[in-house]
Amino acid sequence: MDNAAAVQAYLAELAEQRRQSPHTLSNYDRDLRRLLQAAAERPLADFDTLAVRRQVALLHGQGLSGRSLARLLSAWRGFFKWLLQRGLVPANPCAGIKAPKSPKRLPRALSVEETLGLLDQTPDTGDDRLNRRDQAMFELFYSSGLRLAELASLNLDVLEGMLVEGEVRVLGKRSKVRLVPVGSKAREALAAWAAVRQQLAAPEEQALFVSQRGRRLSLRMIQERLRLRALQAGITTRVHPHMLRHSFASHVLQSSGDLRAVQEMLGHASIASTQVYTHLDFQHLAQVYDLAHPRARRGSKAGPGGD
């Protein structure tokens, strides 16, 4: 089996037997294509630890972040493990290799005012059906903290549960199912979209959100519609669907302080993934402190009296 054929066989197994999401498969495909380029004509059995270290150093020098390199190494490590189990390589050359660390960046979340400005505006698209669809999507992102792929994969059969029960069952990463609440504003927007969806949807199309052509809306188109909506709202920062997820988590945590509940709603396997939002919350508190505390304001002078 040549290198390219081995990669395709591995990706097919991830898709069919391990049921990885299309987004995850796309990442694996991209990272493993880098491996094929690095190996060139050399058999993968000859690709040793030194070659892996050389490629990691090269990609890091080209600007690939530590996080991206960690994901790449994970994909390579899993692939070589698969090859090793089949006797196609003598060892896993990625074993023990770690990616260089990158400075930890906090996710960008919109303020409550920015979020409300984004969702409450009346966009000028010329087609009320598309306006209703977009409103339903963006309200659902913010109401339930969904990932982009999770929202795009929703089918029509979840609509009744959202409208009647106020909840939606989501298939997340690693095929993990979770049940998340759907707020009243999102339910109103979904009902408005449901009333006109049939005018756009192609016969037998099961996707909840469809394009003008009547087929399931692509990830890229959802991103683009949100970007344009944010520009119309006067938000200069580039807004993407994951930012609404971050905003949902940050705002719920600020109001409730319940980290475990936010973890469940986001579908994080580890509480450590959710704890980043405690830092966002602290940033918000620190800004309030800087504006409100007499001794924090620049140029302020202590008033008369003691403590």
Name which of 147, 168, 148 is nearest 158 in CA terms: 168
Question: What is the CATH number that goes with domain 112-289?
Answer: 1.10.443.10
Distance CA 12, CA 67 (A): 25
Q: How far is CA 11 from CA 16, 26, 137, 187, in A?
A: 9, 9, 31, 38
Does residue 78 register a pLDDT over 90? yes
Write down the pLDDT at residue 265. 80
Percent of the chain having pLDDT more than 90?
48
Query: What angle is formed at CA 37 by the lines to CA 33 and CA 40, rounded to 5 degrees?
Result: 135
Determine whether 289 is an active site residue: no
Name which of 190, 199, 121 is nearest 162 in CA terms: 190
Determine whether 277 is an active site residue: yes
Distance CA 97, CA 81 (A): 14
Distance CA 194, CA 212 (A): 15
Distance CA 42, CA 51 (A): 11
Tokens representing 64? 């690939």
Determine whether 173 is an active site residue: yes
Q: Are 31 and 72 in contact (CB under 8 A)?
A: yes
289 or 15, higher pLDDT: 15
Name which of 151, 295, 280, 128 is nearest 197 in CA terms: 128
pTM of the full structure:
0.59
Percent of the chain having pLDDT more than 70?
84
Name the DSSP class of 106: P
Tokens representing 112? 């409550």
Q: Which of these is catalytic: 71, 77, 242, 284?
A: 242
Does residue 64 register a pLDDT over 60? yes
Q: Are 202 and 210 in contact (CB under 8 A)?
A: yes
Does residue 67 register a pLDDT over 90? no
Q: Which of these is catalytic: 132, 216, 229, 268?
A: 268
pLDDT in tens, 163-172: 999 998 888 7
Distance CA 260, CA 271 (A): 7
Name which of 172, 105, 140, 113 is nearest 245 in CA terms: 140
Write down the pLDDT at residue 252. 81
Q: Which of these is catalytic: 81, 173, 227, 284?
A: 173
Return residue ranges of the chain for CATH 1.10.150. 3-85
Q: Which of these is catalytic: 147, 187, 229, 251?
A: 147
Does residue 267 register a pLDDT over 60? yes
pLDDT in tens, 276-301: 666 545 454 445 445 554 545 544 44
Q: Which of 112-121, 200-209, 258-267 has the highest mean pLDDT?
A: 200-209
Question: What is the CATH number that goes with domain 3-85?
Answer: 1.10.150
Determine whether 245 is an active site residue: yes
Q: Which of these is catalytic: 132, 187, 245, 246?
A: 245
14 or 258, higher pLDDT: 14
Write down the pLDDT at residue 91. 94
Write down the pLDDT at residue 290. 56
Return residue ranges of the chain for CATH 1.10.443.10. 112-289
